[in-house]
Amino acid sequence: MKMRAGIYGGLQTVTLGEVEKPEIKPGAILIKNIRSGICGTDLHAYNINGPEVGIDPGNQFGHEMSGVVDEVGEGVTGFKKGQKVFVNPVTFREPNEKLSVLQSCDMAGAFSEYVLVEKPVEGYNVFTLDEELSWDVAAMIEPISVALNGILLCQPKKGDKVVIYGGGIIGLCALACLKSMGIDDVIVTARNPFRSGKVGEMGGILCNTKETDVPSFVMDRWGKSKGNNGEDTWNADFVLDCAGYPGAFEEMLKYARVDSHIGIIALGTSEEKLVENWLCYKACSIHGSFAYTPAVNKQVIDMVTVHQETFLPIATATYGLSEIAEAFAAANDSKKQVKVLIDHSR
């Protein structure tokens, strides 16, 4: 039996194809995708290089997905047909020698009508969702988890002052997480008017990098401190790199306040200067954040269930699966979109 699926064809090429629908088997469940999201990783494959981010031409792909249980395999308990769920693309299938963790995740099949989950375990690779949770927010649990994982590594607390580099998908997800946690002093950098508007709409403090540099803006807003070598530092408790711009990491470290945190979430590829004595003088912590854990997924689900209105502005357009080529073209225009979603019913 065939199903519809988005197929990655190489640079600037995504098509709708027909592939074999996964067959249910003992110890597995079949998920019917309802809503999925186009990730920055997908756009990296679309614009730059698919294999570099684990997406090979000719394959199903996508990893941000939510749906319902369609079939339950023999020997599986705790799941039933029609159950609303989020699927963790990192843990949804058993590790194998054919696919790296990155390939398994990024070619999970979120743009396919059905996905088979091997050895399903509630709270590990499949998470039951509240029936009242918006499908749009459910489809964004994965990128929100990416953002929250980086935030938690920085040991957040109420009253913190936070700088987010980048007003894209992950940056806005981080802003919404922080607002949901009761952290209100959040500066977000952005350049184009559309995303700048989103920062303001979601309650962030906009730093327009077309008009000012980040250190000057932060220090004018929150004042300066003195580092252990007498240098000026900004008064941010932690900084999140959600953009990966060349020079951003060097800037963050140069102006970091003593005993603060830097969280690296973006997949930046430029070489950055790290002066060793800066680390000593700053006594700051640098955290590299990769994906998330099931525990973070659970925390995100609890968060968005209560605060879904905080996250809804991130979703800016929805296209049918039949329009996946148009959806990628739209998602590629950062001046008009943040998160583009795919509705599998169309």
Q: Which of 91-95, 138-142, 238-242 has the lowest mean pLDDT?
A: 91-95
> What residue spans in the chain does CATH classification 3.40.50.720 cover?
144-288
Residue 279 banded pLDDT, cuts 50, 70, 90? confident
Residue-wise pLDDT for 161-185, tens only, equals 999 999 999 999 999 999 999 999 9
* Arithmetic mean of pLDDT, 341-346: 97
Q: For domain 2-143+291-343, give the CATH superfamily.
A: Medium-chain alcohol dehydrogenases, catalytic domain (3.90.180.10)
> What residue spans in the chain does CATH classification 3.90.180.10 cover?
2-143+291-343
Which pLDDT score, from 0 to 100, does residue 274 have?
83
Q: 144-288 belongs to which CATH class?
A: alpha beta
Which pLDDT score, from 0 to 100, does residue 276 have?
85
CA dist 149 and 156 (Å) reads 11
Q: Which residues pair with 285 in a beta bridge?
A: 261
Which pLDDT score, from 0 to 100, does residue 270 have?
82
CA dist 61 and 186 (Å) reads 34
CA dist 312 and 310 (Å) reads 6
Q: What is the DSSP string of 203-237?
A: T-EEEETTTS-HHHHHHHHH-EEE-TTS-EEE--S
- Nearest alpha carbon to residue 176 among 219, 123, 216, 136: 136
Residue-wise pLDDT for 179-225, tens only, equals 999 999 999 999 999 999 999 999 999 999 999 999 999 999 999 99
Asked if pLDDT for residue 304 goes beyond 90, the answer is: yes
Mean of the per-residue pLDDT values for the chain?
A: 96
Q: What backbone torsions phi and psi does residue 103 show, to the nearest 5 degrees? A: -65, -45
* Arithmetic mean of pLDDT, 92-118: 93
Asked if pLDDT for residue 280 goes beyond 80, the answer is: yes
Return the ∠ at Cα 135 (arms to 131 and 136), rounded to 5°. Answer: 145
Q: pTM for the whole thing?
A: 0.95
Asked if pLDDT for residue 104 goes beyond 90, the answer is: yes
* Arithmetic mean of pLDDT, 38-48: 95
**Token code pair at residue 318:** 């929805």
Scanning the structure block, which residue is given the tokens 């950055």? 272
How many Cβ atoms from other residues are within 10 Å of residue 279's Cβ?
Answer: 14
Residue-wise pLDDT for 223-274, tens only, equals 999 999 999 999 999 999 999 889 999 999 999 999 999 999 997 778 888 8
Which pLDDT score, from 0 to 100, does residue 268 have?
79
Residue 98 banded pLDDT, cuts 50, 70, 90? confident
